[in-house]
């Protein structure tokens, strides 16, 4: 099984998870930033990493995903929200919809730090928007996000992707 890890990262969160996922995959394997990634053809399994932007995968990852067809894929992403929140569930479903012509073997989401420029923009321009206003809860969540992805997140990502590889190997047996 030949694997490719493709990721997009703005603050380093998704890159950190991508490197953990890469370590969990058997050889032969490659890891590439989405900007440098080859076409998915020629790979048996794609680990696709993204950061959440406006409720779905960021534009760079989304463009790469749109070109992928008929592949076995594991999705992983990072976001400022709690990974078990309704928002996170909506986000992963939005990402899955980008990949509907592929076999999605599993997903992994974890919290991560949010770009300080985005936080500043939210504070200044969205203070009257009830979905994006800087509430005490939101501030606490953003502070928690600064601690992630941590070692536990990376180990959980590896565990998730080892299970996906097992699905590939079992289906090929």
CATH no. for residue 64? 3.40.50.360
pLDDT in tens, 121-140: 777 877 777 777 778 888 89
Q: pLDDT tens-digit profile of 68-104?
A: 999 999 999 999 999 999 999 999 999 999 999 999 9
Instruction: Tell me the residue range of the domain where 123 lies.
Output: 114-147
Do residues 75 and 125 share a domain? no
pLDDT exceeding 90 applies to what percent of the chain? Answer: 79
pTM: 0.93
- Tokens 């509907």: give the residue: 100
Shared domain check, 124 and 83: no
125 and 77 within one domain: no
Same domain for 102 and 120: no
Rounded CA separation 139/114 (Å)? 11
If asked whether residues 52 and 64 sit together in one domain, one would say: yes
- Considering the domain architecture, whether residues 107 and 139 belong to the same structural domain is answered as no
Domain match, 85 and 142 both: no
> Burial level of 134, CB count in 10 A (0-12/13-18/19+)?
middle
Asked if 45 and 64 sit in the same domain, the reply is yes
């Amino acid at each position: 099984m030949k694997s490719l890890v493709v990721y997009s990262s703005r603050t380093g969160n998704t890159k950190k998870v991508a490197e953990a996922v890469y370590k969990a995959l058997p050889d032969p394997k490659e890891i590439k930033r989405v900007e440098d990634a080859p076409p998915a053809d020629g790979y048996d399994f794609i680990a696709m990493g993204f950061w959440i932007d406006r409720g779905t995968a960021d534009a760079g990852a989304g463009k790469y995903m749109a070109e992928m067809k008929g592949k076995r894929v594991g999705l992983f992403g990072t976001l400022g929200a709690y990974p078990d929140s309704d928002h996170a569930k909506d986000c992963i479903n939005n990402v899955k919809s980008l990949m509907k012509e592929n076999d999605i073997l599993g997903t992994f989401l974890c919290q991560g730090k949010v770009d300080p420029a985005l936080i500043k923009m939210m504070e200044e321009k969205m203070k009257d928007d009830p979905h994006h206003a800087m509430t005490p809860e939101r501030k606490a969540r953003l502070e928690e996000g600064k601690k992630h992805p941590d070692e536990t997140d990376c180990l959980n990502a590896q565990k998730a992707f080892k299970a996906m590889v097992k699905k590939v190997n079992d289906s090929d047996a």
